[in-house]
């Protein structure tokens, strides 16, 4: 099912209607309006690593969460130990739409839009901005944000009605919204830079070097690139694909394109 998640915040949870007076659920309800949900241990781990402000974090299995930190994230173990409050499982489950296997949930303050826009436009960019033109699928958007974070892209911009901070997108992005810039803009407001728009009718990507200051634009799952985006494009670029295959999945296309950029010399150093 298509779910564009327009304008949604973390107003989740079967118990979100009754507000307790004190304790962790009270803190949760105090912060929920201005925060995004971090659903599960890994989302919280990533958000902390990349400097998110996390005013409240709960779990129904604190020992289990700290054991996971010992094993997978010793760098944020101390921060987690200071943040995580244990609550009964029913309390935890009342705060989230669907309990996560790690029984961890937290709220993080959404970064300022002004700072995000400034970072997107600040020259010279050392890595591309990924533009998703009217994406429809929340899972695709999350997967793209995770890719952008991994490749050290400057940011991800969406056009259209999908909210790139919708809880389902944040879940799909594994908390990596805090490792890059994520904003929604009109095509006319895109940051400066040459637009390389991905389209099966374009020029073969294998003959091109994608510059660090590029905007790499991808069309919607249903209808491809919009008229506005095509009008702003400097280059149409195709990914190799044998005849009779219509197109690749959106997130897969972003992965190939960022990999191609990185193979030309960009992207973070390997440890
Ligand atoms: C699922 S496809 C869109 C398919 C859509 N039905 C259409 O008419 O274009 C989503 C986006 O992925 C990118 N994409 C998919 N396959 C591609 C290819 N072979 N070359 C370049 N871009 C591709 C394009 O940006 C495309 O708009």
The residue ranges of every structural domain in the chain are 24-109, 113-263
For helices 41-49 and 62-72, what crossing angle results, to 10°? 50
Residue 218 contacts by C-beta under 8 Å, 6 or more apart in sequence? 130, 131, 132, 133, 135, 144, 197, 198, 225, 250, 253, 254, 257
What's the 165 CA to ligand 1 centre distance in angstroms? 23
Predicted local distance difference test score (pLDDT) of residue 24: 74
How far, CA to CA in Å, does 115 sit from each of 111, 135, 180? 8, 24, 12
CB 38 within 8 A of CB 54: yes
Strand partners, 262: none
C-alpha R_g of the chain: 20
Nearest to 88 by CA among 62, 65, 60: 60
Pocket test for ligand 1, best of 139, 224, 226 (most atoms within 8 A of CB): 224
pTM of this prediction exceeds 0.85? yes
For residues 181 and 129, give the distance between their C-alpha atoms in angstroms, rounded to a whole number: 9
Do 137 and 155 touch, CB atoms closer than 8 A? no
Q: Strands 84-86, 56-59: parallel, antiparallel or unpaired by DSSP?
A: parallel
Ligand 1 atom nearest the C-alpha of 219 is: 27
What is the architecture of the domain spanning 113-263?
A: 3-Layer(aba) Sandwich (3.40)
| Among protein residues, the one whose CA lies closest to atom 12 of ligand 1 | 250
Backbone angles phi, psi at 53, to 5 degrees: -90, 120
The architecture CATH gives domain 24-109: 2-Layer Sandwich (3.30)
Question: Who's near 121: CB < 8 A, 6+ residues apart?
Answer: 191, 192
Q: Are 197 and 226 in contact (CB under 8 A)?
A: no
Alpha carbon distance 224, 53 (integer Å):
36
- pLDDT value of residue 26: 87
Tell me which long-range contacts 115-119 makes (C-beta under 8 A, separation of at least 24): 116/155, 116/181, 116/182, 116/183, 117/183, 117/191, 119/154, 119/155, 119/181
pLDDT by residue, tens only, the chain of 271 residues? 344 444 444 444 434 445 455 667 788 989 988 899 999 999 999 999 999 999 999 999 999 999 999 999 999 999 999 999 999 999 999 999 889 999 999 999 999 999 999 999 999 999 999 999 999 999 999 999 999 999 999 999 999 999 999 989 999 999 999 999 999 999 999 999 999 999 999 999 999 999 999 999 999 999 999 999 999 999 999 999 999 999 999 999 999 999 999 998 876 776 7
Ligand 1 mean position, distance from CA 268 (Å): 26
Q: Which of 205, 253, 255 to mutate to test the pocket of ligand 1 (most atoms within 8 A of CB)?
A: 253
Q: How far apart are the first and last CA of the chain?
A: 39
Best residue for ligand 1 mutational test, from 135, 197, 198 (most atoms within 8 Å of Cβ):
198
- pLDDT at position 13: 45
Q: Looking at residue 21, what is its pLDDT?
A: 57
Ligand 1 shell residues, CB under 6 Å: 198-200, 218-219, 221, 223-225, 238-239, 241, 247-250, 253
Residues 6 or more apart in contact with residue 23 via CB below 8 angstroms:
87
* Position in ligand 1 atom list of the atom nearest CA 197: 25
pLDDT for the residue numbered 22:
62
Cβ 201 vs Cβ 162: under 8 Å = no
Q: Report pLDDT for 67.
A: 97
83, two tokens: 């943040």
């Amino acid at each position: 099912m298509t779910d564009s998640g327009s304008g949604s915040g973390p107003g989740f949870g079967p118990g979100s209607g009754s507000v307790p007076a004190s304790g962790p659920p009270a803190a949760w309800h105090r912060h929920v309006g201005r925060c995004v949900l971090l659903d599960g241990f890994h989302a919280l781990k990533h958000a902390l690593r990349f400097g998110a402000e996390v005013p409240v974090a709960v779990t129904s299995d604190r020992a289990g969460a700290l054991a996971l930190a010992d094993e997978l994230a010793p760098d944020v173990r101390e921060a987690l130990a200071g943040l995580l409050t244990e609550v009964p499982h029913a309390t935890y489950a009342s705060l989230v739409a669907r309990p996560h296997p790690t029984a961890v949930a937290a709220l993080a303050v959404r970064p300022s839009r002004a700072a995000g826009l400034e970072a997107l436009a600040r020259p010279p960019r050392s890595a591309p901005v990924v533009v998703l033109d009217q994406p429809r699928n929340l899972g695709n958007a999350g997967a793209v944000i995770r890719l952008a974070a991994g490749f050290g892209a400057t940011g991800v911009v969406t056009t259209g009605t999908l909210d790139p901070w919708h809880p389902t997108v944040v879940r799909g992005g594994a908390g990596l919204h805090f490792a890059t810039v994520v904003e929604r803009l009109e095509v006319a407001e895109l940051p400066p830079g040459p637009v390389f728009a991905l389209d099966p009718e374009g020029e073969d990507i294998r003959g091109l070097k994608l510059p660090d200051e590029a905007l790499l634009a991808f069309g919607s799952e249903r209808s491809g690139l919009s008229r506005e985006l095509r009008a702003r494009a400097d280059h149409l670029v195709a990914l190799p694909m044998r005849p009779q295959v219509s197109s690749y999945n959106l997130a897969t296309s972003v992965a190939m394109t960022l990999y191609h950029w990185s193979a030309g010399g960009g992207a973070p150093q390997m440890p």
